[in-house]
């Protein structure tokens, strides 16, 4: 029987309707009842470490979760983290960078409907997360709607549907069928490297989604506010305007002042390529980093994590040129 630790952090899975809307509860009896049922298949321990809607989960909580997981990992076959769905993809990506070379499964899950509701997806999502541990799906994953996705590739794409997450630009890690778990892709793990915890991150990262006509001066205000890192969601394969409102010129000034700039695409699928068009090449010449096929969640968390490791923009570039867990394809 696999030994599993469930770390609860809140989210809809453990929420109940209150006078101010849905609020997470520490240990709803339906959740404890479900774990009790599942305990004929798994040796389950349950610990509440946070009790938050995931909109309130930020870098301090990521650090706490990473530390709890890292300390518990040697004593269990795998860890399940129950978490709100809204920012689950950010937490999963960040844990991928904070906990390097884990030798066991770390699986995040949650639900679209609270576990106390008869239509809830919580039980099957929990069972999927536990199946990932049964099948030793190493590394950080998200288990949702009978799918297992790499933590640094998952994106929340639906607010109401049960199929709330998609693995973007990378196949699912696994899927549950009537005949069991089908593992669809293999996980990267550098053999022989020890598992290490690197929980330092920077909060001085901003995500800017461009619109046609974005005023370049917005970049000055970001610099004056103290941001050290900026992810820009540009148009298509990686363009931004220079006519009348010269965004690429302003970006160059920012890079020259030591801000690490990552340029990604507003398109969800496929890679950005700044070398294709003039509107992209101008950006490339500023010294900005290309996000290529990374998700926005992965690009943002990688930049926050990179700036927690170093303040040298050249080192940040080297970090972005490293594929830690399949978050990028070169």
**Alpha helices, DSSP H only, in 177-295?**
217-225, 247-256, 278-284
Cβ 274 to ligand ASP shortest distance, Å: 33
| C-beta of 82 vs 150, nearer to ligand ASP | 82
Q: How far apart are CA 88 and CA 52, in angstroms?
A: 12
Is 26 annotated as catalytic?
Answer: no
Q: Which of 12, 91, 295, 301 is catalytic?
A: 12
Cβ 87 to ligand ASP shortest distance, Å: 6
First-to-last C-alpha distance (Å) of the chain: 40
| C-beta of 21 vs 192, nearer to ligand ASP | 21
Reference 262, options 229, 297, 218; nearest CA is 229
Cβ 164 to ligand ASP shortest distance, Å: 7
Residues that bind ligand ASP in the complex, under the rule CB under 6 A: 11-12, 53-55, 84-86, 110, 112
Cβ 231 to ligand ASP shortest distance, Å: 21
Spell out the residues 6+ positions from residue 320 whose beta carbon is closer than 8 angstroms to its own. 262, 289, 302, 303, 306, 328
Q: Residue 283 in contact with residue 277, Cβ under 8 Å?
A: no
Tell me the residue number closest to ligand ASP, measured at CB: 84
| C-beta of 11 vs 280, nearer to ligand ASP | 11
| C-beta of 54 vs 93, nearer to ligand ASP | 54
Residue 300: CB atoms within 10 Å: 22
Residue 58 is encoded by which pair of tokens? Answer: 């930020």
Burial label for 81, CB within 10 Å (0-12, 13-18, 19+), is buried
The catalytic site residues sit at 12
């Amino acid at each position: 029987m696999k030994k599993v630790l469930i770390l609860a952090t809140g989210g809809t899975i453990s929420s109940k309707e209150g006078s101010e809307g849905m609020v997470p509860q520490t240990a709803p009896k339906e959740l404890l009842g479900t774990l009790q049922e599942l305990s004929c298949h798994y040796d389950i321990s349950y610990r509440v470490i946070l009790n938050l809607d995931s909109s309130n989960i930020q870098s301090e909580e990521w650090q706490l979760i990473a530390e709890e997981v890292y300390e518990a990992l040697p004593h269990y076959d795998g860890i399940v983290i129950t978490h709100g769905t809204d920012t689950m993809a950010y937490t999963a990506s960040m844990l991928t960078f904070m906990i390097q070379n884990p030798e066991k499964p770390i699986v995040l899950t949650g639900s679209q409907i609270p576990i106390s509701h008869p239509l809830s997806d919580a039980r099957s999502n929990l069972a999927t997360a536990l199946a990932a541990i049964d099948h030793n799906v190493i590394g950080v994953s998200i288990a949702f709607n009978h799918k297992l996705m790499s933590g640094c590739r998952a994106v929340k794409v639906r607010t109401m549907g049960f199929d709330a997450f998609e693995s973007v630009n990378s196949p699912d890690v696994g899927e549950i069928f009537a005949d069991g778990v089908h593992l669809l892709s293999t996980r990267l793990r550098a053999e022989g490297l020890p598992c290490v915890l690197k929980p330092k991150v920077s909060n001085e990262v901003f995500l800017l989604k461009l619109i046609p006509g974005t005023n370049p001066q917005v970049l000055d205000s970001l610099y004056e506010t103290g941001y050290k890192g900026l992810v820009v969601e540009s148009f298509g394969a990686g363009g931004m305007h220079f006519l009348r409102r010269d965004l690429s010129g302003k970006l160059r000034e920012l890079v020259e002042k030591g801000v690490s700039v990552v340029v990604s695409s507003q398109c969800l699928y496929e890679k950005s390529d700044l070398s294709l068009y003039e509107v992209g090449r101008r950006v490339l010449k500023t010294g900005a980093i290309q996000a290529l096929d990374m998700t926005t969640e992965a690009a943002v968390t990688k930049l926050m994590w990179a700036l927690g490791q170093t303040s040298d923009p050249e080192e940040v570039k080297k970090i972005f040129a490293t594929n830690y867990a399949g978050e990028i394809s070169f």
